[in-house]
């Protein structure tokens, strides 16, 4: 599971290296908010973090990020809240609560927050490998309808996924899909939908998914980052090829994300105050009173 945590967080950042762009040189705050969200999660010292300590309002300490309050699209917030989707992948109630709370800060209030929950559910399904990657879109549509998760009539993302489901059955090339969506629609959910399409086309090939998203040209940084996230949690960090493992040791934007992903996993697994651990790996032996450790539900 640690490898899946790392795969999702690091996978969302690798596209920026492929695009040969430094994070500091671009106006793209959502990955910075993503890192901030990890730090907020691991600073929760309760036995089981519910997310109540997640920053409810932007503070002055967040500096330049303040100007992005209530400016994000649904797809941008999907990237910013990726740690929440990963951390609460096994608890739908807390997943919904924390995604909505965070979206209320950064997302345009006129947008449909339910679509963010669908993305969170996709991350959850990919992390637990409960589905065949090729069938993720179909399974996602069916489960959303079956459990009545969202209002389908007002949900543009589900409508897009139904279109993509048919296009996938016909093996429609990615550039033709982009041409259709960019010609007729300009929805904020489109990068999420394209990321899921990219993944279902090549679920076992992280590099091909991400490169296809970049070369497709439709909001490539965001679409590729979301593609890297969903492919990363599904395939895990261990499945990435050797160059990416080497990059993880030398590229600052990956090294920092890797350490934070580990601490996020340690906290999810029940380690107290993971942000204070200074070593590469957490202690291997725990001495606790009887009845303290219990199986995670």
Of the candidates 211, 125, 112, the one whose C-alpha atom is nearest the C-alpha of residue 155 is: 112
Encode the chain (297 residues) as per-residue pLDDT tens digits.
888 999 999 889 887 776 655 444 455 788 888 988 998 888 876 655 665 555 555 555 556 777 788 888 999 999 999 999 999 999 988 998 999 888 888 887 777 778 888 899 999 999 987 778 888 888 888 888 777 666 666 677 888 888 899 998 888 888 889 888 876 566 788 999 999 999 999 999 988 888 899 888 888 889 999 999 999 999 988 877 656 555 556 666 677 888 889 889 988 887 766 556 555 555 544 554 555 444 544
pLDDT of residue 285: 47
Q: What's the CA gap between 58 and 288, in Å, rounded?
A: 38
Cα–Cα distance for residue pair 118/141, rounded to 1 Å: 9
The reported pLDDT for the residue numbered 23 is 40
Distance CA 275, CA 48 (A): 15
Task: Give the residue from 36, 49, 81, 98 showing the smallest Cα distance to 265.
Answer: 49
Burial class (CB in 10 A: 0-12, 13-18, 19+), 171: exposed
Among candidates 125, 127, 126, 79, which has minimal Cα distance to 102?
Answer: 79
- Name 206's bridge partners: none
Contact 199, 209 (CB under 8 A): yes
Q: Could you tell me the pTM of the whole model?
A: 0.84
* Residue 107 DSSP symbol: B
Write down all domains in the chain, each with its CATH number in brackets. 2-276 (1.10.4080.10)
Alpha-carbon separation of residue 142 from 123, 126, 161 (angstroms): 16, 15, 11
In this structure, how many other beta carbons lie within 10 angstroms of the beta carbon of residue 216? 21
Cα separation, 260 vs 264, whole angstroms: 6
In angstroms, the CA 178 to CA 190 distance is 9
**Distance between the two ends of the chain, CA-based, in angstroms?**
15
- pLDDT given at position 78: 94
Q: Whose structure tokens read 């991400």?
A: 210
User: What is the rounded CA–CA span in Å between residue 55 and residue 59?
Assistant: 8
Q: How many residues does the chain have?
A: 297
22-46 burial by CB neighbour count: b if 16+ within 10 A, else e?
Answer: eeeeeeebbbbbbbbbbebbbbbee
């Amino acid at each position: 599971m640690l490898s899946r945590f790392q795969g999702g967080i690091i996978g969302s950042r690798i596209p920026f290296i492929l695009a040969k762009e430094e994070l500091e040189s671009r106006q793209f705050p959502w990955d910075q908010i993503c890192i901030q969200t990890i730090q907020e999660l691991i600073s929760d010292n309760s036995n089981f973090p519910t997310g109540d300590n997640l920053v409810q309002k932007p503070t002055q300490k967040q500096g330049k990020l303040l100007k992005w309050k209530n400016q994000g699209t649904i797809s941008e917030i999907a990237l910013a809240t990726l740690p929440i989707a990963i951390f609460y992948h096994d608890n739908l109630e807390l997943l919904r609560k924390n995604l909505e709370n965070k979206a209320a800060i950064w997302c345009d209030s006129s947008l449909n927050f339910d679509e963010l929950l669908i993305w969170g559910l996709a991350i959850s399904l990919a992390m637990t490998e409960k589905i065949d990657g090729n069938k993720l879109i179909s399974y996602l549509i069916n489960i959303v309808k079956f459990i009545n998760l969202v209002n389908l009539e007002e949900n543009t993302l589900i409508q897009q996924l139904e279109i993509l489901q048919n296009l996938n059955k016909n093996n429609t090339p990615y550039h033709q899909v982009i041409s259709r969506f960019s010609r007729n629609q300009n929805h904020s959910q489109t990068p999420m939908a394209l990321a899921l399409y990219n993944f279902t086309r090549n679920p076992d090939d992280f590099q091909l998914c991400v490169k296809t998203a970049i070369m497709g040209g439709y909001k490539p940084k965001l679409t590729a980052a979301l593609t890297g996230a969903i492919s990363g949690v599904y395939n895990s960090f261990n499945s990435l090829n050797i160059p990416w493992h080497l990059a993880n040791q030398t590229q600052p934007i990956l090294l920092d994300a890797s350490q934070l992903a580990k601490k996020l996993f340690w906290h999810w697994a029940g380690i107290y105050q993971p942000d204070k651990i200074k070593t590469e790996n957490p202690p291997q032996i725990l001495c606790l009173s009887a009845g303290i450790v219990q199986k995670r539900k």
